Chain A
Amino acid sequence: MSDPKLKLGLGILAAWALVAALAPVLPLRDPNAQPDGLVLRNLPPMAVVETVSWADGTRRYAHELRRESDGGLSLRRGDTWTRVPGEGARLERARFVLGTDSLGRDLLSRLVWGARVSLVAGLLAALVAVAIGGGVGLIAGFSGGWVDAALMRATDGALAIPRLFLLLLLAALFRPSLATTVLLVGCTTWMAAARLVRGEALSIREREFVASARAAGASPARVAMHHVLPHAAAVLGVEAAIRLGQAVLLEASLSFLGLGVPPPAASWGGLIADGRDRLLDAWWISTWPGLALAFVVIASSLVADGARERL
């Protein structure tokens, strides 16, 4: 049972990571370009648009194209017909696989470029959370006594503060950017890792190999880093997988509220927010990034589930 889950989850995550990493070399349109706000806005998935391009690289989009008897071209945008030179013109049909948003931006490229922002933000935030949590848990479990008590009370307290309210406060105080978003999400999600690692540290601390390392004169820091941490690594790995999905979700929530990664950079939460006011006439704008998010979160849950069953 465990292997298919782990494989499926890792497969989905790897596929997204690959797509995100290859975004600059994939044959995609510029995610932020708005080449024609009139013709290209709110195109449904699989829409085909008439285009004319010339040798110098200029390109025009049209609702309708007509070749005139004199060899010139007429193109219609909305209600107006314009004449353009016909020589050297290449007529093509451009396909927008996932459609476009209300500014005429290509949703497929925005989704792929958004994966870079969302996955990087999620991964870094998960690492920050696991690093802080691991550190706190290690110190608490290893020191014992009042340090342990104080750190765990602080952890419990941090768990009781509803995360999004705290994130709203932080977003109000610090100007949102990718770096602050990563730090904010990481700094508000470390508590579970701290509890897990503390538990591991408490049980490992009593084991013989730790006692012998101590007897051999290893410093507490060395014992913690070289003997306890490797044993806690498996638990920490599972926690990191869960955190990745949750961090991607949290970043998306922040960006959806307009308090995460600032526009025009495409991030999945921001894409969903773009489509929010256009639900009536362009449902697809919000739909794709939502599905993409769900896939990443499902994959990270599968990885965590599969890995836990293997432990």
Chain B
Amino acid sequence: MLGLITRRLLSAVPLIAGVLTLTFLLVEAAPGRPADLLLGDGPVTPELRARVEAAYGLDQPAYVRYASWMGNALRGDLGWSISRGRQVTSVLADALPHTIGLAAAALSIQLLLGILLGALHVVRPGGALDHGLGLAGLVLASVPTFWLGLMAILLFAVAVPIFPPSSAHSIGAEAWSFPARAIDALWHALLPSLVLGLGAAAIVARFVRAGLVAALGEGFVRAARARGASGARVLWVHALPAAAGPVITLAGLQLPVLVSGAVVVEVVFGWPGMGRVTYDAVMAADLPVVLAAVLLATILVIAGNLLADLGLAFVDPRLRLGRKASR
């Protein structure tokens, strides 16, 4: 297990270096000079331009800037947010927990609902319920997330106002007791995480269905049935664990999609996470925040993938034992 973690962490190093290099190259390739963003549109004297470029090290040759960009990032210094007048790391550190919370809630919905729907599928494979759920899933997975978000706000925050239309907490919630704050946070998170998780839940349901159909035909399931295990027990205890592997792999592969989707959902719901912050930064031409957000979002995905690998090793003993035997 430790070997797996070490190996994955080591393989993340070139990836992070690659992301840093890619973002640097993209900024270099962009039209205009970085100083333009700082100087704005007004008339600028050459002296002022030269002073700004010198202050930010923009007058250095590209390889020097590349080295200092890499070096600073490795030391955890991701620059200065122009629009917010704070360290980029502190801006993103405020936003990151919100995104992790939203993504975790959406992931839970995605897995729980997906497994539940997948199980409903195999009540009678090929039956009306199976086909109906398949169709509903196809529609859910095809509807644009941001549109689903708008419709959810329209229905459940405007027409029937039972959920808040935006933000992550009520006004003045900071002064409340912890349980009240927690309930308030959940109440605010439910709609956005549902919107973010529903489409992926439909895809998970498809995989669960396929896994269960395959598992239900296996010898160990027939053996369990022969021993007199109930239908529910056969499904949940015997067949589902066998179908869990591909689902976890899928959840890991879908992580970048989840984090991407969080951007749109956060913008629609005014959720103060990384997507919202990045979007605001793009609008404010605050490049350092955007660059750091790309890096941080990638690290988030790598961390999530590592968790998926660990989960996989947890549900599939062959992976754990196989690795130990080979060592």
Contacts and interface: CB of A to CB of B under 8 A. Distances in A.
Interface in B12-71: 14-15, 18-19, 22-23, 26-27, 29-31
Interface in B269-313: 275, 278-279, 281-283, 285, 287, 290-291, 293-294, 297-298, 300-302, 305
Interface stretch (B140-148, B170-178, B182-190, B220-228): B140-148
A272 B150 contact: yes
A280 B158 CA distance: 7
Interface stretch (B113-121, B230-238, B259-267): B259-267
A19 interface: no
A245 B144 CA distance: 11
Contact of B138 (A166, A279, A301): A301
B246 interface: no
Contact of B282 (A171, A256, A283, A298): A171
Contacts of A258: 283
B74 interface: no
Interface residues of B, number: 53
Nearest to B34: A173
A146 interface: no
Contacts of B294: 161-162, 165-166, 168-169
Most buried by A among B14, B146, B287, B291: B146
B301 A297 contact: no
B151 interface: yes
Contacts of B279: 168, 257
Given A162-B257, A168-B282, 13 more contacts: A161-B298, A162-B256, A162-B298, A168-B278, A169-B23, A173-B287, A245-B142, A256-B264, A272-B147, A286-B151, A289-B147, A298-B138, A298-B139
Interface of B: 14-15, 18-19, 22-23, 26-27, 29-31, 138-139, 141-147, 150-151, 153-154, 158, 253, 256-257, 259-261, 263-264, 267-268, 275, 278-279, 281-283, 285, 287, 290-291, 293-294, 297-298, 300-302, 305
